[in-house]
Amino acid sequence: MAFMKKYLPPILGFFLAYYYYSANEEFRPEMLQGKKVIVTGASKGIGEQMAYHLAKMGAHVVVTARSKETLEKVVSHCLELGAPSAHYIAGSMENMTFAEQFVAQAGKLMGGLDMLILNHITNSPMNLFSGDIHLVRRSMEVNFLSYVVLSVAALPMLKQSDGSIVVVSSMADTAMKAVSGILNIEASPKEECALEIIKGGALRQEEVYYDSAIWTNLLLRNPGRKLLEFLSLRRYSLDKFIKN
């Protein structure tokens, strides 16, 4: 306890200062003008709204999800909002072959890639394991392995454009269940969340939280996480994963 009282305040202060001052560049919508962006999980919710924001900013977009009919409507609206080009490729992220081929097809449609936004997810019941291996496999394939496959497939194009990868995550299905029936918290506005995610990607921020108070709560839960990340990644290089 004495250790925590002595060292936690300065550690917390350091990371708070890092968070608030690390991204000193101001976001401008023209940063996305003409950029080539992939958005997964874009048939509804935050993914759909990100596609619309990008379209308004003049970005080329390729969206994907399982529903062809819904994606057609999203693409049509993107063009109405001013996107110079908008395309969709429907498919399931359970299929790793589709995931890999999707990135290649999207790159051909847009003539390259500047930003890969990974927003898709499959819902999994947060219950004790019941022996359903298929459910575990599906969750791992969609929520983890497809992210790896998509990222690796996109790296050559992103390296060429000095682009970025944006990964969207949520605590709604995990942390919120622990306080179910105790706290009544309204869902975050999807339009605002989508815009903050895009801003973070354009400014190349390491992490973006909506709302920002969540960051402090996570840091208090595990104050050493950022330090461990720094020590692990300081000698890490993506070059060996990218085929020349």
At 86-131, the pLDDT tens digits run: 999 999 999 999 999 999 999 999 999 999 999 998 876 656 667 7
Report helix angle 68-81 to 45-56, nearest 10: 30
Split into its structural domains, the chain has a count of: 1
Rounded to two decimals, what is the model's pTM?
Answer: 0.75
CATH number at 152 reads 3.40.50.720
The answer as to whether 17 is a domain residue is no
Asked if 48 contacts 128 with a C-beta cutoff of 8 angstroms, the reply is: no
Higher pLDDT, 206 or 30: 30
Q: Which domain holds residue 48?
A: 26-120+134-168+179-233
| pLDDT tens figures, 9-54 | 666 666 666 655 554 578 999 999 999 999 999 999 999 999 999 9
The answer as to whether 7 is a domain residue is no
Q: From CA 13, how far away is CA 10, in angstroms rounded?
A: 5
The answer as to whether 8 is a domain residue is no
The answer as to whether 163 is a domain residue is yes
